[in-house]
Structure 1
């Protein structure tokens, strides 16, 4: 995929990786300092934290870490990522969520793979883990570690060409699932996307049933909105939670029966949220 609509970024300082790291963060104080420390250790050209009107000390932590902090004005995650991309000075972006930890040398390793493979977008491999010894955190991490989602391009820990992202952009009407919808448009535009099998980063999940339910509801709403926007993919989007549940519950039955209740919640709340989005969300925000 080629584009010439976006000006070239500035040159990175000597010794710095020519990457602008964008970290969206809303009430992320629990994880942010550790995330930013792992990012700073990679020596990127700049770190941009886009604050989502946090009520905790997210901004203070980001400032103390030496990040350039801007506010998304409460416009949501897709808008925050686009604001970070527009503010960036480098031609390559690293979109890193606050619940991600980068091992030493990981950013350079992925950048080398990104450059050699002529990618437009390349995601780190994700190794999920619970942030506490609690059922729902463990279940979420187990799901992600045993799911085919690990092989799908998303943006919680990803390198992207800045010009490509600015050209196509996230749909800022989405509350969640914006990465799935963007992936469809990137593929339609002929972008080269991938998920690294060599460079792995940590991805953390917090506990509590409310956290799991929020994840399921966001997933369902995102799928519903994506299906409405891309009717040719609607059948697959509608079937996805059921297919994921059949596969996940089957694996759980064999490997970890204690997670079977998780799949009941996953299935029920995904479809409840999808129906609610179709009845209210997508009609209110066409």
Structure 2
């Protein structure tokens, strides 16, 4: 049986969570319908009025937070956390000094010099800020540097922070409060981009790949937030030691791998965007796109290490048919596909005694999301093919291809309102996706696998908990 969320924790419902009936809840990630037993409904009344006070309340709180229906709010800690800052660095003494100056002096700091060309400069910065220094003679990458630090840390918690980050003094303390949950292994803040006032810098501030947005989440593969970057991460030292720390064989993607191995070991990882840290980003397109391509190369080794966890595009049959028909200008077929989507969902809901209001709107949203997902997938992994399809005559085909290329970035621009005009934002987003996709293809060729570029068909339209499910939920 899963360990309940401890006494004193509160929960807040996710914005997407909807109560369909007293015993039925809709939401979560992946989306599902949760059915509450009479005991579960009594436990919910406890949680709605205050913190966890009973085993039943704790069990329901765990169920809701694990499934993404709600997010935990820890009690106020009674004492300071037992914590060490770990800062891996390769050259760049200036950013290191800025990073160390931003950290709280209430906790020890350990700098790992991962083979810098000028070790004296790194040592001087570490000494000036009262940080302990460990020198690695050979560069092993960020994962190896963090593992070296773990051998020298004896505190309960480790707060990893990259040398190109700046963090408010209490960021790690605020995150450490969540470790009152004994199942929590790691938690990450929101990483906000800091960049020069250039077109590339403004694009990165609006769409930085390390910024996972403003919604809290449980971190798990195949959910809305499948990983968190380790640019800033507070972790339980014993949990990291249990899985052997970071994989030193990964120069990029080591953060994704760490999250997925912690998840496989039964631990919890959370994303807490109410805590922010700053990350200094490249100010030129060349640096930005080069980094995105490097990130892409991690997809293949991750897919080999974690089969089934990495899907670049998940398609539901009826919405996919609808989008394909619309792009092919087959309105009758599109109408049939949309009707099939509605009827399939109605059948699923009625067979499980679930209200059917809002099905048409939900299927419209599914079609819209499928179009956006297909467009971004095509840009990342088949941009030359889409570009070639723009050449032949026929405005219908050109309009369909243009919608795939331009629809996702223009939608993102409208939602985010970045400090760039739509034309430059769209150009930046297309270049970003193409660079990442090129890196993925390069990794696929190197590791001889096509898994990172293969879409997946999801035949089940909605996950519904069994009517016979027992327990407090």
Report TM bin, short chain.
0.7 to 0.9
Residues 150, 27 of structure 1: alpha-carbon distance in 2 compared, 3 angstrom cutoff: farther
Is 2:446 the counterpart of 1:280? yes
Is 2:91 the counterpart of 1:27? yes
Residues 16, 186 of structure 1: alpha-carbon distance in 2 compared, 3 angstrom cutoff: closer
SS where residue 236 of structure 1 aligns?
coil
Report the CA distance between 1:185 and its aligned residue.
1.5
C-alpha separation in 1, matches of 2:375 and 2:141:
24
C-alpha separation in 2, matches of 1:24 and 1:251:
34
Question: Counterparts in 2 of 1:196-275, with a 5 A limit?
Answer: 196-236=272-312, 242=376, 247-252=408-413, 255=417, 256=420, 257=422, 258-275=424-441
C-alpha separation in 2, matches of 1:174 and 1:146:
18
Residues 183 and 267 of structure 2 are in contact (CA less than 8 Å); yes or no, is this contact kept in structure 1? Answer: no
Residues 234, 145 of structure 1: alpha-carbon distance in 2 compared, 3 angstrom cutoff: closer
Aligned residues between the structures: 268
Report the CA distance between 1:247 and its aligned residue.
4.4
Question: Counterparts in 2 of 1:105-254, with a 5 A limit?
Answer: 105-115=170-180, 119-130=184-195, 132-144=196-208, 148=212, 152=225, 153-168=228-243, 169-236=245-312, 242=376, 247-252=408-413
Deviations 1:38-58 (A, max 9, x none): 11x3411x2111112223533
Deviations 1:222-266 (A, max 9, x none): 122211222212433898993597645521256341222222221
The residue aligned with 1:11 is none
Gaps of 5+ in 2: 4-78, 216-224, 315-372, 381-406, 450-473
Higher helix proportion (structure 1 or 2):
1
Greater RCO (CA < 8 Å, at least 6 residues apart): 1
Residues 233, 249 of structure 1: alpha-carbon distance in 2 compared, 3 angstrom cutoff: farther
Report the CA distance between 1:122 and its aligned residue.
0.9
The residue aligned with 1:52 is 114
Report the CA distance between 1:281 and its aligned residue.
5.5
Report the CA distance between 1:118 and its aligned residue.
5.3
Residues 191 and 212 of structure 2 are in contact (CA less than 8 Å); yes or no, is this contact kept in structure 1? Answer: no
Residues 161 and 231 of structure 2 are in contact (CA less than 8 Å); yes or no, is this contact kept in structure 1? Answer: yes
SS where residue 174 of structure 1 aligns?
coil
Residues 100, 265 of structure 1: alpha-carbon distance in 2 compared, 3 angstrom cutoff: same
Could you tell me the TM-score, scaled by structure 2's length? 0.51
Gaps of 5+ in 1: 3-14
Could you tell me the TM-score, scaled by structure 1's length? 0.81
Across the aligned residues of Structure 1 and Structure 2, the Cα RMSD in angstroms comes to 3.1
Residues 177, 247 of structure 1: alpha-carbon distance in 2 compared, 3 angstrom cutoff: farther
The residue aligned with 1:7 is none
SS where residue 74 of structure 1 aligns?
coil
Residues 139, 59 of structure 1: alpha-carbon distance in 2 compared, 3 angstrom cutoff: farther
